Chains A and B, each alone.
Chain A
Amino acid sequence: MAELSATGIGVTADGQAIVSEADLRLAPGELVVLLGPNGAGKTSLLRAAIGLARPASGSATIGGRDVFATPPAERARMLAYLPQARALAWPQSVRDVVALGRFAHGAAPGRLGAADAAAVARAIDAADLAHLADRSTATLSGGEVARVHLARALAAEAPLIVADEPVASLDPRHQHRVMTLLRGFVAAGGGALVVLHDLDLAARHADRLVWMAGGRIVADGPPAATMTSDRIAAVYGVAARVLDTGAGRHVIVEGAL
């Protein structure tokens, strides 16, 4: 089973500890949200856990194998990664950018096998991009570009997706559309690990929350158990009320402490 498991991850930069003793796990069938203020070490932890940057300490496995001993393409077939940066160097068509998601399967834009073309078409449909498929990505809005990137990750048809702030700078409607897409991916048997800054969005969509502060994991559990006013105050330094309406938890942030 494709499962990501990182233990005791420590990352240092210029002698400073960015991440210390962090454990992170992601399995198919769950949507995990990684929470923490700016500079908590979330991105550094993710990059180390998925094998993009060698950590100073700790180890990570994917599908039971050391991530750093796994060839990049093989790793990418098990885990699709969506980094924060969404720059596209060239104004390619939406379809061609989504097709890059098949890179780990040996395909390239304009050179797609039948299975690749089918996966690209499914991803384009899932992200509701069919009407934009032939448009240049340079002409799209921020929300549309975000969906293109998500479709690119979906096109890999990897069992796991790790997305670093996939809803950053999106309007509320697009934020919910992206989260709904990821929920659909999880409902279909995938596992998603998502970095979010919107506590309400996290409470609504996550199966499990991983809380990070000062480079350490300070809590790991379902929203019902870990989303509390005290924890939000400790991690983010804000006063917040957590309301349980029965239909779900809502977070109202009232101000900085």
Chain B
Amino acid sequence: MSARTLNLSLAAASLAAIVAACFLGSTPLPPARLLAALFGMGDAGDTIVVWAIRLPRAIAAFVVGAALGASGAALQGLLRNPLAEPGVLGVSASAALTATVTLHFGLAAAFAWALPIAAVTGALAATALLAAAAIRTASIVTLILIGVALSSFAGALMALLTNLAPNPFTLADMVAWMLGSVANRSFADIALALPFLGGGVALLFATRRGLSALTLGEEAAAGAGLDLARQRLAVVAGAGLATGGAVALAGAIGFVGIVAPHLVRARVGHDPAATLLPASLLAGLFLVAADIGVRLIPGDGELKLGVVAALVGAPLFALIAARRRTGDG
């Protein structure tokens, strides 16, 4: 399968999954009514159900996945290791922490942009810290340990914040952000996160040729004409913006950025640049499908999307780590 066919089929599958997600919910909608509502020709009730509830939820899952997939693929290219990913490196947790701070102090309720800006700031701080560490060490293990520290620290502070939650609604909100969910997202929520998501992903795509060159190692890539400092800055900023935007919209969802690039890499000849688009599409598809799963699994409360992603992603992460031949890097 060529890269082009792969991208086209992933895009088609994503579209199909988003439409399929629109069938799910408390009001059964047969295909004819769903299609009519999608194209704005159905009755008013159906149109509201589809356009205000189901479609934004599915699209939120897709864009969050796409941003995390692109961030994962780009960070893996920059750090030259398939284990790099915003969740594993503690970027998602840092963003979730700053997001929950705005929820805790009611800033998010007072000022709509507070939460996305806080999430993006948290993510950028984490990626910048990791990039600074990456200049000093070639070891991915060190970076993952820094990620573990970031995640644990952010988790502890978030646990503290939930203990001190002023009321049950704030508590529920904060838990949702810690575990990751796209339930009840509106197009307005998507619009708030989109500048960061879109800007970050665009930046990552703009640097993809440099990611190819980094296959050779930093020294040789610089010798081949890559502006290393600019490349690092662009990937750090792009991954920070995209991950921060994703967390702002859906909370912390881990492992997506590791699963998707891993599955497509061999099909595009292992070129980090060529991995970016299919990894992004597949991660979007994966989260739309996982969110369908979230709603199909029976139970009192809805399972959180981040939980499903980790249930699938964490074992695969362990598998990739165990299969690597070298102990370090």
Binding site for B on A (CB under 8 A): 50, 52, 71-77, 80-83, 85, 87-93, 96-97, 100-101, 103-104, 108-110, 136, 149, 152, 156
Residues of A within 8 Å of B305, CB to CB, are none
- On whether the beta carbons of A83 and B214 are closer than 8 Å, the reply is no
Complex Cα spacing A228 to B310, Å:
67
Q: Does residue B128 face the partner (Cβ distance < 8 Å to A)?
A: no
Residues of B within 8 Å of A136, CB to CB, are 270
Complex Cα spacing A96 to B275, Å:
14
- On whether the beta carbons of A52 and B215 are closer than 8 Å, the reply is no
Q: Does residue B189 face the partner (Cβ distance < 8 Å to A)?
A: no
30 A-B contacts, Cβ less than 8 Å apart?
A71-B227, A72-B222, A74-B225, A76-B223, A76-B224, A76-B225, A80-B224, A82-B223, A83-B219, A88-B217, A89-B80, A89-B217, A89-B272, A90-B272, A96-B270, A97-B215, A100-B213, A100-B215, A100-B216, A101-B224, A104-B225, A108-B209, A108-B271, A108-B273, A109-B269, A109-B273, A110-B3, A110-B274, A136-B270, A149-B220
A192 to chain B, nearest CB (A): 14
- On whether the beta carbons of B212 and A108 are closer than 8 Å, the reply is yes
Complex Cα spacing A87 to B138, Å:
12
Contacts A77-B225, A103-B212, A109-B274 aside, 4 further interface pairs with beta carbons under 8 A come to A81-B220, A90-B271, A92-B271, A108-B212
Residue of B nearest to A47 (CB): B219
B329 to chain A, nearest CB (A): 8
Complex Cα spacing A110 to B226, Å:
18
Binding site for A on B (CB under 8 A): 3, 80-81, 208-209, 212-217, 219-227, 265, 269-274
- On whether the beta carbons of B209 and A103 are closer than 8 Å, the reply is yes
Q: Is the interface of B mostly helix, strand, loop or mixed?
A: helix
Choose among B208, B219, B270 the residue that contacts A91 (Cβ–Cβ < 8 A): B270
- Known interface pairs A96-B271, A110-B3, A110-B269; A90-B224 also in contact (CB < 8 Å): no
- On whether the beta carbons of B225 and A72 are closer than 8 Å, the reply is yes
Residues of A within 8 Å of B215, CB to CB, are 88-90, 92, 97, 100
- Known interface pairs A52-B223, A72-B225, A104-B224; A93-B212 also in contact (CB < 8 Å): no
- On whether the beta carbons of B213 and A103 are closer than 8 Å, the reply is yes
- On whether the beta carbons of B220 and A72 are closer than 8 Å, the reply is no
Q: Which 9 pairs show the lowest CB-CB distances between chains A and B?
A: A81-B223, A76-B225, A104-B225, A89-B80, A73-B225, A90-B270, A83-B219, A103-B224, A108-B209
Interface centre among B219, B226, B272, by most chain A C-beta atoms within 10 angstroms, is B219
Interface centre among B217, B265, B271, by most chain A C-beta atoms within 10 angstroms, is B271
B72 to chain A, nearest CB (A): 15
Choose among A75, A76, A96 the residue that contacts B269 (Cβ–Cβ < 8 A): A96
Residue of A nearest to B214 (CB): A89
Complex Cα spacing A156 to B220, Å:
13
Residues of B within 8 Å of A108, CB to CB, are 208-209, 212-213, 271, 273
- Known interface pairs A85-B219, A100-B216, A103-B209; A92-B269 also in contact (CB < 8 Å): yes
Interface centre among A91, A93, A110, by most chain B C-beta atoms within 10 angstroms, is A110
- On whether the beta carbons of A88 and B226 are closer than 8 Å, the reply is no
Residue of A nearest to B80 (CB): A89
Complex Cα spacing A88 to B221, Å:
11
Residues of B within 8 Å of A71, CB to CB, are 227
Residue of A nearest to B270 (CB): A90
Residues of A within 8 Å of B214, CB to CB, are 89
B261 to chain A, nearest CB (A): 11
- Known interface pairs A96-B269, A100-B224; A87-B212 also in contact (CB < 8 Å): no
Residues of A within 8 Å of B227, CB to CB, are 71-73
Residues of A within 8 Å of B269, CB to CB, are 92-93, 96, 109-110
- On whether the beta carbons of B225 and A110 are closer than 8 Å, the reply is no
Residues of B within 8 Å of A109, CB to CB, are 212, 269, 271, 273-274
Interface centre among A52, A74, A77, by most chain B C-beta atoms within 10 angstroms, is A52
A54 to chain B, nearest CB (A): 12
- On whether the beta carbons of B271 and A72 are closer than 8 Å, the reply is no
Residues of B within 8 Å of A110, CB to CB, are 3, 269, 271, 273-274
